[in-house]
Amino acid sequence: MSSGSDSTIPKPTGFLVLDKPAGPSSMSAVSVVRRRAGRTKTGHGGTLDPLATGVLVLGLGRATKLLEQVVATDKAYETEIDLSITTRTDDLEGDACTIRVDTPPDHAAVEAALSTFSGEFLQQPPAFSAVKIGGRRAYALARKDQPVELPPRPVRVDHIRLIAYTWPIATVEIKCAKGFYVRSLARDLGTRLGTGGCCRRITRTAVGPFTLDEAITLDDVPDPLTQADLISIDDALARITPPCP
């Protein structure tokens, strides 16, 4: 039996910053870490779509009680939006439908359209999302081809920038409050430009003070995972709620 499952060894408690790969769900990543931490209670501080990559903050042991504070922090993303196609899921999980665009928008037009998604505004979540409708997840209804009408919700974007554009791919950098859907941005940007709009790639580069630079891949999570591999609760809280000047 490995030392990670020895009941005489204290269970690890703290935070782990994971670089989630494309494919696994957030809960699948949690399950891997939980096993390597000797079945220690483990949760995450904000879901990433299966096809999305990047920062997934995990709390282990007593840190799971503090994950709501992680969820409440601002987020940062980088995404590649394909303006030539649409899908039902607003990413590549759905079947692509090519949109005919006689005159592709130029760099200035895409920049101008993106600038309208700054500040506070209402955003409609994707049909394929975890938002509940009558107690059921929207994605469960959408997968059964049942109608999904989600009311717009207030969101906040503090920074949005076009960092590269060659038709049909626009690469966009976003800093936003919790509750913002990058896939909805792709959909709505396409609507504004009269083109398609679908996320080819979504990378979450930061969750509050936790960044991609410090994240480890799922393959690199130690087995067994020990206390020494985690950010302590005190250190994490100091980063999330820095002292007043």
3-state secondary structure string, the chain?
CCHHHCCCCCCCCEEEEEEECCCCCHHHHHHHHHHHCCCCCEEECCCCCCCCEEEEEEEEHHHHHHHHHHHCCCEEEEEEEECCEECCCCECCCCCEECCCCCCCCHHHHHHHHHCCCEEEEECCCCCCCCEECCEEHHHHHHCCCCCCCCCEEEEEEEEEEEEEECCEEEEEEEECCCCCHHHHHHHHHHHHCCCCEEEEEEEEEECCEEHHHCEEHHHCCCCCCHHHCECHHHHHHHHCCCCC
Overall average pLDDT of the 87-107 stretch: 94
What backbone torsions phi and psi does residue 19 show, to the nearest 5 degrees? Answer: -100, 95
Q: What is the pTM of this model?
A: 0.90
Closest C-alpha among 19, 27, 20, 10 to residue 62? 10
Closest C-alpha among 230, 223, 221, 228 to residue 2? 223
Select the more confidently predicted residue: 133 or 119.
119
pLDDT beyond 90 at 105? yes
Residues with Cβ within 8 Å of 135's Cβ and at least 6 positions away in sequence, in order, are: none
Distance CA 131, CA 116 (A): 25
pLDDT in tens, 172-198: 999 999 999 999 999 999 999 999 999
The confidence score (pLDDT) of residue 179 equals 92
The confidence score (pLDDT) of residue 94 equals 87
The confidence score (pLDDT) of residue 127 equals 74
Q: Do domains 3-72+208-238 and 77-206 have the same CATH topology?
A: yes
Overall average pLDDT of the 161-165 stretch: 98
The confidence score (pLDDT) of residue 245 equals 59
Point out the catalytic residue in the list 6, 19, 49, 235: 49
**Which residues sit opposite 210 in a β-bridge?**
207
Q: Where are the domains of the chain?
A: 3-72+208-238, 77-206
The confidence score (pLDDT) of residue 135 equals 64
Q: Is 49 a catalytic residue?
A: yes
pLDDT in tens, 6-50: 555 678 999 999 999 999 999 999 999 999 999 999 999 999 988
pLDDT in tens, 211-220: 999 999 999 9
Mean pLDDT, all residues of the chain: 90
Angle (CA) 180-70-228 rounded to 5° is 140
CATH architecture of 77-206: 2-Layer Sandwich (3.30)
Superfamily of domain 3-72+208-238: Pseudouridine synthase (3.30.2350.10)
